[in-house]
Structure 1
Amino acid sequence: MTFPIWINLGFIKLHPHVVFEALAYFIGFRVYLYTRSKDKFPMEQGLWVIVGAILGAAIGSKMLYWLEDPLKTIENWRSYTYLMEGKTIVGGLLGGLIGVEFMKKRVGITRSSGDDMALPIITGMVIGRIGCFMTGLDDHTYGIPTSWITGIDFGDGILRHPTQLYEIAFLLLLGGLLYRWKKRAAFPDGAIFQLFMTGYLLFRFVIDFIKPTPHPYLGLNNIQLACLIGLIYYLSLLYKWLGKPQSSHKGEI
């Protein structure tokens, strides 16, 4: 297998990262339109929520990437190429959360909108990670060298953890559980999204120990610090309703 794995259409060859990132946004948005709860708020308000999510995610993903190697960022703060070339999913999720909450206040939405976004986000992330895997070393999302049977040579002769594939497998499992719970369980508004964020942030905190990124923050990297902050926030939200009687859950939906 040779990386990157180009998408050959015969008359043109497309880079996998560009193709799958575009598909992630397109298909994820279509899943949102198809699965969203139509009775929560009008479509116009829903679109403003999407705008807030996109803008917040774009800003958050960049800011957290710049914290990956603070010294390098300071050295290259005048380099447009360096500042624009990277982004992080965790930063995008947390930034998107802030953007959504800001926009909801602006348009007067008081109900939770996160439950409708959990499955579309997971869909987009799975598709996007396929592109990350097919890109290989250039994407910088692989893991450290390993002797495990799962090790993959991305082109430099070294077997590495395919952390992109680990994440895809985890997201498919998490998405299946959330879909089942959304259909069958009696959870309060926002609980599905809270469970998604808690599960994913916990996964990323663990998986980043086997990623070859700088860990300058007491043995942790920038992603793990953000995950800890996010986990504190979401665990506090989960704590508010996990101990409530089941009948109380039904009354809040």
Structure 2
Amino acid sequence: MDFPIYISFGLFKLHPHLLFESLAYFIGFRVYLKMRGQSKLTMIQAMWVVFGAIVGASIGSKLLAWLEDPMRTIEQWNHVSYLMQGKTIVGGLLGGLIGVELIKKRVGITRSTGDDMIFALITGMTIGRIGCFLTGLSDQTYGIPTSWITGIDFGDGVMRHPTQLYEIVFLVFLGVLLYFIKKNIPLHDGALFQLFMIGYLSWRLLIDFIKPTPHPYWGLNNIQIACLLGLIYYGWICNKNISGERKRTKNA
């Protein structure tokens, strides 16, 4: 295959990253509206949540991307073209989480909203990763060279781990697992989203060991550090919930 693989529509050819990123946002938003219909949020509240998620994700994805190579970012701080390049899913998830929580406090939403977003996020991320794969080397989401049977030549003669495809398989598995849990195991509001975040952050912590990005933070890269911080936070949340449940059971 020759990368990037452009998508043809008659006389027009669209870059795969642009096409699939646009589809990810559009379809993901439709899935969110569908899931929101099963919650108690009003349309206005749902739009505020989406606004907080978009703004937070935009800021978080950029900030974390700049930390991939901090010395280069410092050197290029006055070059707008460099600062506008790159973004990360992990930064978007964590930034979106912060943005949503701030918006919820601002508009008075007290219930958990994360469960409404899980399958929209998984859908959007899966579609987006298709675009990452079809873009090839310029997207810089591939893995390190490998002799595995799964290795793919993205155009420079080197067989590399197609980590984009690995992630698609993982996201499908995670989505099926969470859907099964949602249908068969009673959980408190927000617990399913916590499981999603723990699952995805754990995945990224591990898979980034086979990505050729700089690892300047004690052998870890910027995304892995963010994953560790996120896992510590969700570990604290889960422990807090378990303690609260035990207390309620004891007092019952």
What TM bracket, shorter-length normalisation?
Answer: over 0.9
1:175 is matched with 175
CA offset at residue 241 of structure 1?
3.3
1:192 aligned residue: 192
| Aligned-pair CA distance for 1:236 | 1.4
Could you tell me which residue of structure 1 aligns to residue 28 of structure 2?
Answer: 28
Contact 2:129 2:165 in 1 (8 A): yes
Q: Counterpart in 2 of 1:129?
A: 129
Residues 39 and 116 in structure 2, CA contact (< 8 A), matched pair in contact too: no
Offset at 1:41?
2.0
AA matched with 2:98: I
The aligned residue for residue 82 of structure 1 is 82
After TM superposition, the structure 1 = structure 2 runs for residues 233-252 of structure 1, keeping only pairs within 5 Å, are 233-242=233-242, 244=245
The one-letter amino acid of 1:104's match is: K
The residue that corresponds to 1:7 in the other structure is 7
For residues 188 and 52 of structure 1, the distance between their equivalents in structure 2, rounded to whole angstroms, comes to 23
Kindly provide the CA deviation profile for residues 136-158 of structure 1, in whole angstroms up to 9, marking residues without a partner as x. Answer: 00000000000001000000000
Aligned-residue offset at 1:239:
2.2
How many angstroms apart in 2 are the aligned matches of 1:52 and 1:20?
A: 23
How far apart, CA to CA, are the structure 2 residues paired with 1:11 and 1:27?
A: 25
2:3 counterpart SS class: coil
Q: Distance in 2 between the 1:111 and 1:62 partners? A: 28
Q: Percent identity?
A: 68
Task: Give the counterpart letter for 1:135 in structure 2.
Answer: T
Q: Which consecutive residues of structure 2, in runs of 5 or more, have no partner in the other structure?
A: none
CA deviation after TM superposition for structure 1 residue 240, in Å? 2.8
Alignment of 1:135-214 (within 5 A): 135-214=135-214
Q: 2:63 matched to which residue of 1?
A: 63
Secondary structure class of the residue paired with 1:143: coil
**Distance in structure 1 (CA, Å) of the matches to 2:39 and 2:61:** 31
Output the amino acid matched with 2:54.
I
Alpha-carbon distance, 1:237 to partner: 1.3
Give me the TM-score of the superposition, normalised by structure 1. 0.95
Counterpart Cα distance in 1 of 2:197 and 2:210: 21
Q: Secondary structure at the match of 2:157?
A: coil
How far apart in 1 are the matches of 2:221 and 2:227?
A: 10
Post-superposition CA distance 1:169-202 (Å, at most 9, x none): 0000000111111122100110010000000000
Residue equivalent to 1:17 = 17
Segments of 5+ residues of structure 1 without an aligned counterpart are: none
TM-superposed CA distance for 1:242, in Å, is: 4.5
> What is the count of residue pairs matched by the alignment?
248
SS for the counterpart of 2:186 is coil
Which residue is equivalent to 1:219?
Answer: 219
SS at the partner of 2:169? Answer: helix
CA distance in 1, matches of 2:207, 2:116: 26
Superposition RMSD in Å: 1.4
Task: Please state if 1:104 is matched with 2:101.
Answer: no
2:4 is paired with a residue whose SS is coil
In structure 2, distance between residues paired with 1:27 and 1:242: 35
- If the length of structure 2 is used for normalisation, what is the TM-score? 0.95
1:190 partner letter: G
Distance 2:105 2:87 in 1: 27
Match of 1:8, SS state, is strand
